[in-house]
Amino acid sequence: MTTSTATPAVTRLRWSSTDPADQFTVHDPATGEAIATLQGAGPQQVDAAVRAAHAAQQNWRRRSHAERGAVLRRIADTIREHAAEIAAIETSDNGKPTSQAEGFDLAASAAIFDLFAGSITTPPSAAAQNGPLLDVTTLEPYGVIGAIVPFNWPPIHTAGKLAPALAVGNAVVLKPPEQAPLSVLRLIELIEEIVPDDVVHVVPGRGPVGAALAAHRLVGKISFTGAPATGVSVLKTAADNLTPALLELGGKNPFIVFDDADLDSAVPWLIEGGYFNQGEACTAASRLLVQDTVYDEVADRVARAVRRLTVGDGADPATHVGPLVTSEQQRRVLDYLDIGRAEGAVLHAQAELPADPRLAGGYYVPPTLLTQVAPTMRVANEEIFGPVVTMIRFRDEDEAVRIANGTPFGLVAGVFSGNHQRALRTADAVRAGLVFINHYNRAAVGVPFGGTGASGYGREHAHETLHEFGYSKSLRIPNGLGPIPRWQPSLDVTATPERKEPR
């Protein structure tokens, strides 16, 4: 990275353009101060990065599994060594508490690299004697993976795309989020020192940079994480080249509490599920569905806990909930509180905002519990992506499932009940890629992660993810165990064809 003397300094990267229109500024959400101006890529730089990755991949794919695995393991170790440093950077542009960045994001990122370092040594390949043929199926890399990352867990999404892509033998061109790119840039800087062959490239910028990447005909597959509307746009762009895409999109996740649940356990999990990472989580427990017999009790317990949350600068170890990532995101979430109240929801509890004048320009939203929410309200259906939990009442199991499945999303769900048969029945009926029973622990590296419906498709963070980053290729080899049947034995192509004399 090189910097000029302007304030904030304009940071140039390998694939920066020279067009001032591609510059963008990153703010510290805790104070609203501008902390960096990056010179982003333009279409020519995206093209050059993809071509460089495409050329480099030829060498990388020929390296042994052991070599690629060793590289991934070294990356995992390096992330652990630099976890505190990268976590502080992540707090500076994303806003989240540093303890969450280090303990969750960076720990998960290292674990993802470790996972695929191990996975690739037992790749999903198969060989079988099949009559007169030996059939051998291998996993082929797509070539260049176009990876597009959102702002909420930048290191995890970077790891979730890079690790399996590199394991299978792909090169990667990655676009970091424009709101919070700094942790990704530091991570990639460290990774570039470890990965040989020049196979990892980063193209900073806003949406059009992602669109240029998705449109590139040398991109073999797109791995996108972000909002459903952006996913649709990515898919339409990719359609022109028939480029396949893995899409991890939003969620409006139900957290279902039956009246026989252990509330001493359910309430702390709900607080973590709803307000961790400022609620800027595709996995946020944003819909709290509670059986009517315990609705008031749960509302009171959650309200008491919400009021105890400390909102503040993520760099302060006392902070539970940091600021939202940008002023736009703050505005959007505050608007949803107005929309909810106008629809008839009750603002049941809020945490205090920080009083420190140094934080007056920060993008804070008070963690909020909305009660008396009806399943038809906008706040019960649209992804708010902030520290807001909407509390909905249900009478029985059937109604709980009906409400849970009543949005287009299907990412994760939580089911809390003391009756394990009821919990399992409900988990079976709920449409989601991942269901937590009597807990809500989202650190699930090794378990297939992804959704259905408007939450997208494809699975990350597990052994099966290797299939997302490679396609099957089969060789059919005569094994000498018998004749290979032909389906047109009567067609004799060895006979000399009748020649037509030229006239």
Beta-bridge mates of residue 336? none
Residue 409 zone, left/alpha/beta (φ > 0; ψ -120 to 50; rest): beta
* CA 96 – CA 314 distance, rounded (Å): 5
**Token pair belonging to 416:** 């809390």
**Token pair belonging to 483:** 């004749």
Nearer to ligand NAD, 63 or 378 (CB): 378
Which residue number is nearest to ligand NAD in terms of Cβ? Answer: 210
Distance between alpha carbon 424 and the CA centroid of its chain, in Å?
27
227 belongs to the binding site for ligand NAD (CB under 6 A): yes
Of 29, 143, 150, 220, the residue at the interface with ligand NAD (CB under 6 A) is 150
Among the listed residues 102, 248, 280, 460, the single catalytic one is 248
- Can you give the length of the chain in residues? 503
* CA 92 – CA 183 distance, rounded (Å): 9
* CA 176 – CA 449 distance, rounded (Å): 21
Of 113, 336, 385, 469, the residue at the interface with ligand NAD (CB under 6 A) is 385
> Given the rule CB under 6 A, which of 31-39, 164-172, 230-238, 332-340 is the region that contacts ligand NAD?
230-238
206 belongs to the binding site for ligand NAD (CB under 6 A): yes
Q: Is 248 a catalytic residue?
A: yes
* CA 210 – CA 204 distance, rounded (Å): 9
381 belongs to the binding site for ligand NAD (CB under 6 A): no
* CA 50 – CA 243 distance, rounded (Å): 14
Nearer to ligand NAD, 230 or 291 (CB): 230
Cβ contacts of 448-452, under 8 Å, gap ≥ 24? 449/248, 450/248, 450/411, 451/248, 451/249, 451/251, 451/409, 451/410, 451/411, 451/412, 452/410
Could you tell me the smallest distance in angstroms from the CB atom of residue 307 to ligand NAD? 27
250 belongs to the binding site for ligand NAD (CB under 6 A): yes
Q: Under a CB-based contact definition with an 8 Å cutoff, are residues 201 and 15 in contact? A: yes
Interface of this chain with ligand NAD, residues 265 to 294, rule: CB under 6 A: 282
Of 148, 184, 187, 415, the residue at the interface with ligand NAD (CB under 6 A) is 148
Of 141, 226, 362, 414, the residue at the interface with ligand NAD (CB under 6 A) is 226
**What phi, psi does 131 have (nearest 5°)?**
65, -125
Nearer to ligand NAD, 205 or 367 (CB): 205
* CA 172 – CA 57 distance, rounded (Å): 9
Could you tell me the smallest distance in angstroms from the CB atom of residue 382 to ligand NAD? 10
Residue 460 DSSP label: B
373 belongs to the binding site for ligand NAD (CB under 6 A): no
Q: Is 282 a catalytic residue?
A: yes
> Given the rule CB under 6 A, which of 64-72, 148-156, 262-270, 438-446 is the region that contacts ligand NAD?
148-156
Which string of x and - marks every residue 451-490 that binds ligand NAD (by CB under 6 A)? ----xx----------------------------------
Could you tell me the smallest distance in angstroms from the CB atom of residue 29 to ligand NAD? 14
Nearer to ligand NAD, 151 or 416 (CB): 151
178 belongs to the binding site for ligand NAD (CB under 6 A): yes
Nearer to ligand NAD, 73 or 206 (CB): 206
Which sign, positive or negative, has the C-alpha torsion 262, 263, 266, 269? Answer: negative
Of 56, 184, 214, 261, the residue at the interface with ligand NAD (CB under 6 A) is 214
Nearer to ligand NAD, 104 or 295 (CB): 104
The residue count for binding ligand NAD (CB under 6 A) is: 29
Of 40, 43, 177, 279, the residue at the interface with ligand NAD (CB under 6 A) is 177
Among the listed residues 178, 282, 383, 460, the single catalytic one is 282
Helices 263-275 and 295-307: crossing angle in degrees, nearest 10, is: 50
Of 249, 305, 384, 391, the residue at the interface with ligand NAD (CB under 6 A) is 249
Nearer to ligand NAD, 50 or 349 (CB): 50
CA 90-465-167 angle, 5° bins: 75
Q: Under a CB-based contact definition with an 8 Å cutoff, are residues 392 and 405 in contact? A: no
User: What one-character-per-residue DSSP string does 214-252 give?
Assistant: HH-TTEEEEEEES-HHHHHHHHHHHHTTT--EEEE----
Residues that bind ligand NAD (CB under 6 A): 148-152, 175, 177-178, 206-207, 210-211, 214, 225-227, 230, 233-234, 248-251, 282, 383, 385, 411, 455-456
Residues noted as catalytic: 248, 282
